[in-house]
Structure 1
Amino acid sequence: MPALLLAACQLPVKPVATQDDASPPAAVAPAAEAGPAEPTPRADAVARGAPPALAAPEPPPPPDPIDTGAELFDHLAENFQSPVCIKGEANRAWRKRYAGHPASFARHLEEVLPLMAYVATEVDRRGLPAEFALIPIVESWYRPAAIGPGGPAGMWQMIASTARNHGIRIQSGYDGRLSPVASTDAALDYLVDLSARFDGDWRATAMAYNAGEYRILRAFRSNGHRNASGERRLPQGLSRITYDYVAKLRALACLIAKPERHDLELPRDARFVPLARLPLPPGTSSLDQAALKLLVDARELRRLNPAYRGGRLPAGAPREVLVPANPAMLLAARDLPAAPPAGDAPARSHRVRSGDTLSGIARKYGVGLRQLYRLNDMDARSVLQVGQEVQVDP
């Protein structure tokens, strides 16, 4: 049965503090020191009839997927960075803007619960702050087929060059920016890299996602510090759009974590079918054919996966989609034949030449930057050397 990536573990609720935007990140408690190792049973003890050592316990089963509004909102609130609700005019203005029509805000949230739960799970799996699960609200209100002015597309609103630089395929009949699977992988991998570059400061990371990392780094150098705040407009010299980007994320987090402060009633009682990422069945040439084999509604499958123009599956396009993980689909997917093996093509590598960049190498070979980082023990700060061999494939 194809692997399904569903929901993340639930964590204990953290207190929600209220202060300004300039507070330093909370310190991380040091890990407890390991105690002395257990002695290995001696052979003569076993010979005297001592009981054999117990086998290692079975790993716990995967957690149940998030499938209610209450589970999703509680999960997000538990994983927002403290303080969630802060003082300040910009934050107050954006809270008022989003919650100005409480019924409409709650209805919009209910409509996007399945996609939001999928992204929240992926955010948690990468160890990123839960605020990043709110970026698709700011960008597109979680509309996979959204096309913005100037060319950005998808629920993460990526421009084509940025998408290609992060391994998203764009070809005739297929635009991976409109794939919730491909675009979420690329966006979150990019946020992981940015977070490493900005020392885990989620505010600076969000600014860099909006304005570009080099613009934020130049502003830091110009200001002589690395303080990032949407409320206090730091670092100075950025556009209002970039400061508002952080303010919007903080406002949304406060509304979700403390709805009672704003006379909001979130759709906590709403139930929904979780989404799973799944390889398309072998031998299908359209989403409608895949829907028949997976026993899901064809219109819903097309709505969730608009990357395939007209619902057709062009040659060379990725064949991984989001599917409602209802019981009938799970049974149907289990009984489908496995996809044919990809073959024994040798792993590719690239010898660095003058002017090469990791993003350019990723684009040339159609892979994600994160894959290059992982295979070559690199990160966003790594510097390439002429003649260096970069592994491209696992």
Structure 2
Amino acid sequence: MIRKWFLLGIMFISLVGRGQEFQLTEVIPDYTYDEVADRMSCIENEVPLVFNERVMAFVDYFAIKDREYTEDIVRKKELYFPIFSETLAKHNMPEELKYLAIVESGLRPNAISRANAVGLWQFISSTGKMYGLHSNWYVDDRMDPYEATDAAARHLRDLYNMFDSWELALAAYNCGPGNVRKAIRRSGYKREFWEIYRYLPRETRSYVPQFVAITYLFNHLEEHGFDPRAEHFYPEMDTIMISQYFHVETFCNQVGLCLDDMLLWNPQIKRGALPEGTKNFALNIPVEWKEEIVANRVSLYDTASKVGKEHLDYLARNTPGSTYGRERLYYRVRSGDVLGTIAQQYGVRVSDIRSWNGIRGNLIRVGQRLSIWVLPTYNSSNKSLYTASTPPTPKTSAPLAGGSVYTVKSGDSLWSISRNNNTSIEKLKQANRLTTNTIKPGQSLVIPN
């Protein structure tokens, strides 16, 4: 059989005499439906891998149409697959479930969806908390590859026990068990994924076929022209324990490690620091560096505890929507209430109340219970404080993982600050989570690099 080849990439043409010489940057082997079906039937698996035209369409997509995406996953797999395999084995789960993280996040630990699902395994806040994943302004456990993978394995096990089917467990992981039960009822109580397929949400109808296609492709990378060895070099890792405020960039500068690498190895650290009160945080470091770091631990930790603390703490407590360092109260909406009067009563911002309660507009209902997070400075007789009494004034701009801190002066505007610091207004607003261009003297702003 003569094999055809799809040609990708830029074709460089040079004329040599009367002929033409073609230099091809990449070739993709052709394949047939029957070949893919035959290969898939040979994969050792516990999760059913049903092959059909829907799955074939996703094989074509990942093998040809979005090939760069697949190549990126191949390069990153050696960083995360060992974690997935070890965790799934610990929970006696099918190893092929590791491919689900590709469908969920593209192996991006800091991925955030439109529904605010976060991390490699895309946990929303409520489900994450059910499985012990917590988050604050500084750290988000959902971005921790180890913690999130363990939580995902337990969640998938619970869903499997609920439906006694790995395909339905995968569907429920995507759309929730309630939607799967609804599809089962509407199908006449069928119990197979492809029997309830048309009753599931549209996204879920693509979700399981994508998982099957990815599982097939990563078992046959070479047959589709991918180099399974095309990976980044990742050092062997160990951990050191941190139980204090800890400025990561300062630590990296002292020991000679790259900050970007450190944040890659510890993606759950969102703001380049660990907050005061941290207990037994396992910081991932290259194993070859551990001996030297442990030998100089007292000095290294002491220096890392003295940079940026006040400024970050101020930002943590006063970033719109933040709950860090605040106490939660509940308010029951009464007739005549509007968000503005409730915000004034508790010394918070309207935007805070919207964020804390998932409110998009200004509509609230009588009897609705609202979460209100107040600062320790709040009391019923002083309702005007929505920020710490006075922002700390730095002697110098302390370096942060995302840049430096600037204290707003009288006459400043976002435009003047952006020009003086070689950045843009949009980047300033994004770094500080500003929704308007309003700033005031004494306010601390993060200046992005």
Is residue 2:48 matched to residue 1:88? no
Tell me: CA distance 1:287–1:196, structure 2 relative to 1, closer, same or farther (3 Å). Answer: farther
Amino acid at match of 2:180: I
- Of 241, 256, 260, the residue aligned with 1:299 is 260
Tell me: CA distance 1:161–1:305, structure 2 relative to 1, closer, same or farther (3 Å). Answer: same
Name the residue aligned to 2:129.
164
Cα distance in 2 for residues equivalent to 1:118 and 1:177: 15
Is residue 2:50 matched to residue 1:115? no
Report matched runs for 1:181-192 at 5 Å.
Answer: 181-192=146-157
Tell me: CA distance 1:202–1:335, structure 2 relative to 1, closer, same or farther (3 Å). Answer: farther
Is the partner of 1:280 in helix, strand or coil? strand
How big is each residue's C-alpha offset from its partner over 1:156-210, in whole Å with a ceiling of 9 and x where there is no partner?
A: 22222222232211223222222223322222221121122222x2211111110
What's the TM-score, normalizing by structure 2? 0.50
Q: Contact 1:204–1:228 (CA<8 Å) still a contact in 2?
A: yes
Tell me: CA distance 1:294–1:248, structure 2 relative to 1, closer, same or farther (3 Å). Answer: farther
- Of 245, 249, 253, the residue aligned with 2:215 is 253
Name the residue aligned to 1:219.
183
Gaps of 5+ in 1: 1-15, 24-76, 339-394
Q: Contact 1:102–1:265 (CA<8 Å) still a contact in 2?
A: no
1:223 positional shift: 2.9
Report matched runs for 1:349-368 at 5 Å.
Answer: none
Tell me: CA distance 1:83–1:193, structure 2 relative to 1, closer, same or farther (3 Å). Answer: closer
Cα distance in 1 for residues equivalent to 2:178 and 2:271: 38
Q: Which has the larger radius of gyration?
A: 2
Tell me: CA distance 1:105–1:17, structure 2 relative to 1, closer, same or farther (3 Å). Answer: closer
Q: Contact 2:73–2:107 (CA<8 Å) still a contact in 1?
A: no
Amino acid at match of 2:109: P
Cα distance in 2 for residues equivalent to 1:279 and 1:78: 40
Is residue 2:207 matched to residue 1:242? no
Is the partner of 2:199 in helix, strand or coil? coil
Is the partner of 2:207 in helix, strand or coil? helix
Report matched runs for 1:1-394 at 5 Å.
Answer: 18=37, 80-81=45-46, 84=49, 86-100=50-64, 101-102=66-67, 105-199=70-164, 201-229=165-193, 232=194, 234-261=196-223, 263-268=224-229, 270=231, 272-273=233-234, 276=237, 278=239, 280-283=241-244, 285-288=246-249, 291=252, 296-317=257-278, 319-321=280-282, 323=284, 326-329=286-289, 331-332=291-292
Between Structure 1 and Structure 2, the one with more strand by share is 2
Is the partner of 2:239 in helix, strand or coil? strand
Cα distance in 2 for residues equivalent to 1:317 and 1:302: 17
1:277 positional shift: 6.8
Flag the structure with more relative contact order, 1 or 2, with Cα contacts below 8 A and sequence separation at least 6: 1
How big is each residue's C-alpha offset from its partner over 1:334-374, in whole Å with a ceiling of 9 and x where there is no partner?
A: 76889xxxxxxxxxxxxxxxxxxxxxxxxxxxxxxxxxxxx
Gaps of 5+ in 2: 1-34, 299-449
Cα distance in 2 for residues equivalent to 1:122 and 1:295: 32
Amino acid at match of 1:310: R
Q: Contact 2:119–2:144 (CA<8 Å) still a contact in 1?
A: yes
Is the partner of 2:111 in helix, strand or coil? coil
Q: Contact 2:170–2:208 (CA<8 Å) still a contact in 1?
A: yes
Q: Contact 1:123–1:129 (CA<8 Å) still a contact in 2?
A: yes
Q: Contact 1:280–1:319 (CA<8 Å) still a contact in 2?
A: yes
- Taking only the aligned residue pairs, the percentage that are identical comes to 23
Tell me: CA distance 1:135–1:318, structure 2 relative to 1, closer, same or farther (3 Å). Answer: farther
Cα RMSD (Å): 3.7
Moved more, 249-258 or 133-142: 133-142
Tell me: CA distance 1:274–1:122, structure 2 relative to 1, closer, same or farther (3 Å). Answer: farther
What number of residue pairs does the alignment pair up? 265
Cα distance in 2 for residues equivalent to 1:213 and 1:301: 37
Amino acid at match of 1:211: C
Q: Contact 2:121–2:149 (CA<8 Å) still a contact in 1?
A: yes
Cα distance in 2 for residues equivalent to 1:194 and 1:322: 31
Tell me: CA distance 1:226–1:295, structure 2 relative to 1, closer, same or farther (3 Å). Answer: farther
Is the partner of 2:271 in helix, strand or coil? helix
1:228 positional shift: 3.1
Is the partner of 1:188 in helix, strand or coil? helix
Tell me: CA distance 1:130–1:290, structure 2 relative to 1, closer, same or farther (3 Å). Answer: farther
